[in-house]
A and B are shown apart, each in its own frame.
Chain A
Amino acid sequence: MIRLLKIELQKHISYKAFWLMLLFYALLLAVMIFGIPGLIDYIAEKSGEPSKFRIFKAIVFNFPDIWQNIAFVASARFFIKIVLGIIIIIIVTNEFHFLTIRSNIISGLDKKDFLVAKIELVILLSLFSTLIIFLSGLYLGFMHSASKSVFDVFGKMVFLLGYFIEIFSYLLFCMMLGIIFKRTGITFVVHFVYLIVEPILDHNLNEKFTPYLPLNAINGIIKTPNTSLIKIKSPEFNYDFQEFVSMSDVGVCLGYAALFVGLSYLILKKRDI
Chain B
Amino acid sequence: MEKILSIENLNKKYGRIHAVNNLNLEINRGNVFGILGPNGSGKTTTLGIILSVINADSGAFSWFGNPNSKEDRKKIGSILEQPIFYPYLSAVKNLRIICDIKGVNYSEIERVLHIVDLFERRDSKYRTFSYGMKQRLAIAAALLGKPEVLIFDEPTNGLDPKGIAEIRELIINIARQGMTIILASHLLDEVQKTCSHVAVLKNGNKLFSGKVSDVLSISDAVELSSNNLELLSLVIKEFEGTTDVNIEKDLIVARLKAGTTIYDLNYFLIGKGIVLTHLAERKKSLENQFLELLTENE
**Residue ranges of A at the interface with B (Cβ–Cβ < 8 Å):** 3, 6-7, 10-11, 14-17, 98-100, 102-110, 113, 270-273
Contacts and interface: CB of A to CB of B under 8 A. Distances in A.
Contact of B97 (A11, A102, A271): A11
Nearest to A95: B86
Contacts of A3: 100
B53 interface: yes
Interface stretch (B31-39, B71-79, B183-191, B285-293): B71-79
A3 B87 CA distance: 22
A14 B87 CA distance: 11
Interface stretch (B88-96, B112-120, B193-201, B224-232): B88-96
Contacts, number: 76
Contacts of B70: 108-110, 113
The residue among A3, A16, A273 with the most chain B CB atoms within 10 A of its own CB is A273
A190 to B, nearest CB: 25
Contacts of A107: 73-74, 98, 101-102, 141
A16 B53 contact: no
A121 to B, nearest CB: 14
Contacts of B96: 10
B73 A108 contact: yes
Contacts of B73: 105-108
Nearest to B48: A272
A103 B85 contact: yes
Given A6-B100, A14-B89, A15-B89, A272 B84 contact: no
5 contacts: A98-B86, A102-B53, A105-B51, A271-B55, A272-B54
A104 B55 contact: no
Nearest to B51: A106
Interface residues of B, number: 30
Nearest to A10: B97
Closest 5 CB pairs of A and B: A108-B74, A103-B84, A273-B53, A107-B101, A272-B54
A98 B87 contact: yes
B101 A98 contact: no
A266 to B, nearest CB: 13
Interface in B168-184: none
Nearest to A18: B88
B128 interface: no
Contacts of B90: 14
Contacts of A271: 55
B52 interface: yes
A243 to B, nearest CB: 46
Interface in B193-231: none
A15 B88 contact: yes
A100 B85 contact: yes
Contacts of A14: 88-90, 93
Contacts of A104: 97, 101
Given A14-B93, A107-B141, A108-B102, 11 more contacts: A7-B97, A10-B96, A15-B86, A15-B89, A99-B82, A100-B84, A102-B84, A104-B97, A107-B101, A108-B73, A108-B74
Contact of A106 (B53, B85, B100): B53
A8 to B, nearest CB: 9
Contacts of B86: 11, 15, 98, 100
Nearest to B12: A272
Contacts of B102: 107-108
Nearest to A109: B101
Given A107-B73, A107-B74, A272-B54, A102 B80 contact: yes
Contacts of B103: 108
A10 B80 contact: no
Contacts of A15: 86, 88-89
B78 A106 contact: yes
B84 A7 contact: no
Nearest to B83: A103
Given A98-B84, A107-B73, A272 B98 contact: no
B157 to A, nearest CB: 15
The residue among B51, B55, B82, B100 with the most chain A CB atoms within 10 A of its own CB is B100
Contacts of A10: 93, 96-97, 100
A98 B55 CA distance: 20
